[in-house]
């Protein structure tokens, strides 16, 4: 906000008096006072734990044996680099992220294109896609887990109606098929969010561009790829970054649906990290994994900030 030359306006409140601060200085002081509580609170609940994590990761610290706690240098990081279970989890998490984010972006785009049109049931559609977004991830996972159950679900029932094979034994006991309910739950919950972000971008495209493309004889397909997609690139990238981040950090769905099983075939990095903390009680090693995950998340954050800066400034 550019402050106007208010001091020139005659008035009791604004005349600088000896020993008193000027109006602008007073407003600035109030400003710092207002910002401070939020900044301190955020630092306390998030920056402090991060630093504590970094410190913990340099120690051998297992809660079941508190007397053995000692400084261990980079031993935990050495373990992390050579831990084949962690790297297996990392690979699984990456594959899950690529598949689920790709599906969600494509479906989200379809949803956004549908909802951006004007039709009678439009607000019903908008409300009905918003509900999955608002449901807790854990509840979404419970819903989809039940749907893949023979007694409480509809998946096997529908497959039966279509004379296709399928059974509960297969879904959650198979290292491969156990991923299907996980991806479906993630997709059901998160596609609406992608659609809403993309919708905002879609509505920002000037109508004249579509008009002139149509006059030039472009068909709908060409207009989509030559006009819509290029103009929506910043929005698509933002949606991509947000979804990639939360897909890489997937925890609730895995915890509720499979607990990483069968075996460790659906175990992901967040789950492994949580397991090291809360089940193995190995806080030193758990902290090292957390530091690794945090570094990846921060890389995505910087990518996001760079994008915001390129696209017309760091707008709020």
Partner 1 sequence: MSRGRAGRIGFAILVGVIIVYSLLPFLWILRSSLESSAGLSQQTSTFWPIGITLTHYRALFTEENFLRPLINSIVVAGMTTVIAVVLGSLAAYALSRLPIKGRMAVLGFVLLVSFFPQIGMVGPLFLVFRHLGWLDTYQSLIFPYLILSLPITTWILTAFFAQIPIEIEEASMVDGASIAQTIGRIFVPLALPGIFTAAILGFLLSWNDLLFALSFIHNPSMFTVPLALVNFRSAFYIHYGQIDAGVVVASIPIALVVLFLQRRIEAGLTAGGVKG
Could you say whether residue 42 binds partner 1 (CB under 8 A)?
Answer: yes
Specify the residue, 60 or 126, whose C-beta has the smaller distance to partner 1.
Answer: 126
Contacts of 49 (CB under 8 A, 6+ apart): none
Among 101, 109, 178, 196, binds partner 1 (CB under 8 A): 196
Q: Least CB distance from residue 290 to partner 1, whole Å? A: 4
Stretch that binds partner 1, among 75-83, 93-101, 171-179, 283-291 (CB under 8 A): 283-291
266 Cα distance to chain centroid: 19
Q: Least CB distance from residue 2 to partner 1, whole Å? A: 9
Could you say whether residue 308 binds partner 1 (CB under 8 A)?
Answer: yes
Could you say whether residue 95 binds partner 1 (CB under 8 A)?
Answer: no
Helix, coil or strand: residue 15: coil
Residue 203 near residue 245, CB atoms below 8 Å: no
Binding residues with partner 1: total (CB under 8 A): 107
Q: Least CB distance from residue 197 to partner 1, whole Å? A: 7
CA-to-CA separations, 39 to 45, 133, 308, 316, in angstroms, rounded:
10, 29, 22, 18
* 59 beta partners: 71
Stretch that binds partner 1, among 66-74, 88-96, 98-106, 274-282 (CB under 8 A): 274-282
Q: For residue 93, give the H/E element and its range.
A: helix 84-116
Could you say whether residue 77 binds partner 1 (CB under 8 A)?
Answer: no
Could you say whether residue 41 binds partner 1 (CB under 8 A)?
Answer: yes
In this structure, the number of other CB atoms found within 10 A of the CB of residue 259 comes to: 13
Q: Give the footprint of partner 1 on residues 205-264 (CB under 8 A).
A: 238, 242, 245-246, 249, 251-252, 255-256
Closest by alpha carbon to 278, among 262, 294, 255?
A: 255
Could you say whether residue 172 binds partner 1 (CB under 8 A)?
Answer: no
* 8 beta partners: none
In this structure, the number of other CB atoms found within 10 A of the CB of residue 81 comes to: 12
Q: Least CB distance from residue 3 to partner 1, whole Å? A: 5
CA 252/CA 203 separation, integer angstroms: 33
Among 76, 97, 100, 137, binds partner 1 (CB under 8 A): 137
Residues in contact with partner 1, shown as a per-residue x/- string from 117 to 136 under the rule CB under 8 A:
x-x-x-xxxxxxxxxxxxxx
Find tokens 């939360």 and name the residue.
Answer: 246
């Amino acid at each position: 906000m550019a402050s106007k030359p208010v001091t020139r306006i005659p008035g009791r409140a604004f005349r600088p008096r000896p020993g008193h601060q000027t109006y602008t200085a007073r407003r600035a002081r109030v400003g710092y006072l207002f910002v401070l509580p939020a900044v301190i609170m955020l630092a306390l609940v998030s920056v402090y734990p991060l630093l504590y994590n970094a410190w913990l990761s340099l120690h051998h610290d297992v809660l079941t044996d508190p007397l053995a706690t000692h400084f261990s240098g980079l031993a935990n990081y050495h373990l992390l680099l050579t831990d084949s279970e962690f790297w297996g989890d990392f690979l699984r998490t990456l594959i899950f992220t690529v598949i689920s984010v790709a599906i969600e972006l494509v479906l989200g785009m379809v949803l956004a294109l549908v909802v951006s049109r004007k039709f009678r049931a439009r607000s019903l559609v908008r409300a009905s896609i918003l509900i999955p977004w608002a449901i807790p991830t854990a509840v979404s996972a419970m819903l989809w887990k039940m749907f893949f159950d023979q007694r409480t679900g509809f998946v096997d029932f529908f497959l039966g109606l279509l004379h296709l094979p399928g059974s509960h034994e297969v879904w959650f006991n198979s290292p491969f098929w156990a991923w299907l309910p996980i991806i479906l739950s993630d997709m059901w919950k998160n596609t609406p969010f992608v659609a809403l972000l993309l919708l905002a971008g879609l509505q920002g495209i000037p109508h004249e561009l579509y008009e002139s493309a149509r006059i030039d004889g472009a068909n709908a397909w060409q207009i989509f790829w030559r006009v819509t997609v290029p103009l929506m690139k910043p929005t698509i990238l933002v949606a991509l970054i947000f979804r990639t981040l939360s897909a890489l950090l997937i925890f609730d769905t895995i915890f509720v649906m499979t607990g990483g099983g069968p075996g460790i075939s659906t175990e992901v990095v967040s789950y492994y990290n949580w397991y090291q903390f809360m089940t193995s009680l190995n806080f030193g090693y758990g902290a090292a994994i957390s530091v690794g995950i945090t570094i990846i998340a921060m890389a995505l954050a910087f990518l996001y900030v760079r994008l915001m800066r390129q696209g017309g400034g760091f707008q709020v």
